[in-house]
Amino acid sequence: MSERAGTAEVTESTAATAIAEPELATADLLVEEVSIDGMCGVY
Amino acid sequence: MSTEAPARGARAGFDLDRPWQLHAQVSVRPERFGALLYHFGTRRLSFLKSPELLTVVSALGAAPTAREACRQAGVSDAELPAYAAALATLASSQMICAREAS
């Protein structure tokens, strides 16, 4: 019984992640940030 | 070199309804994919991966609000959340900063 409940929770959590990802992915497509600290001497 | 994902909380708090501008220490280099921004103070680079986003960023200094800059650049209502998130990322890295309304 508890195993089934656990499975249901995981499935629900996965579904929530799948819904949240497109917004994050779209934002990441528009801007990407890079730090160049520590690159001194690398030419 | 490192790539860093900005904090999600910073994205959520962007105010589209106030005036913004490009930071004075930021240089913009248009590219085929969009643009490169370089901040001389923080030594950070941001890649704008959309020419429309470059248009928005370029329009910020003259537009009364960020929302208006997006509208002028042709950003649709459906696209607005993604552009607001992108502007929040740029604000969190100081590429753009709030300005006083004139």
Secondary structure element (H or E) that encloses residue A35, with its range: strand A31-35
A13-39 pLDDT per residue, tens = 444 444 444 444 555 689 998 877 766
- How many A/B residue pairs have CB atoms within 8 Å? 64
Residue B100 lies in a domain: no
pLDDT, mean of residues B2-12: 43
- Write out chain B residues lying below 8 Å of A25, CB-based: none
Q: Does B44 touch chain A (CB under 8 A)?
A: yes
Domain containing residue B33 = 18-95
Q: CA B45 to CA B47: how far, in whole Å?
A: 7
**Is B81 in contact with A23 (Cβ distance < 8 A)?**
yes
Beta strand B34-39 with B2-3: parallel, antiparallel or unpaired?
A: unpaired
The domain total for chain B is 1
B37-87 pLDDT per residue, tens = 999 999 999 999 999 999 999 999 999 999 999 999 999 999 999 999 999
User: What predicted TM-score, i.e. pTM, was given to this entire model?
Assistant: 0.71
**Is A30 in contact with B1 (Cβ distance < 8 A)?**
no
Residue B101 lies in a domain: no
Q: What percent of chain B has pLDDT over 70?
A: 87
User: What are the structure tokens assigned to B73, written together?
Assistant: 């650049």
Residue B11 lies in a domain: no
Residue B7 lies in a domain: no
A28: burial class by Cβ within 10 Å (0-12, 13-18, 19+)? middle
CATH of the domain at B41: 3.90.930
Structure ipTM: 0.75
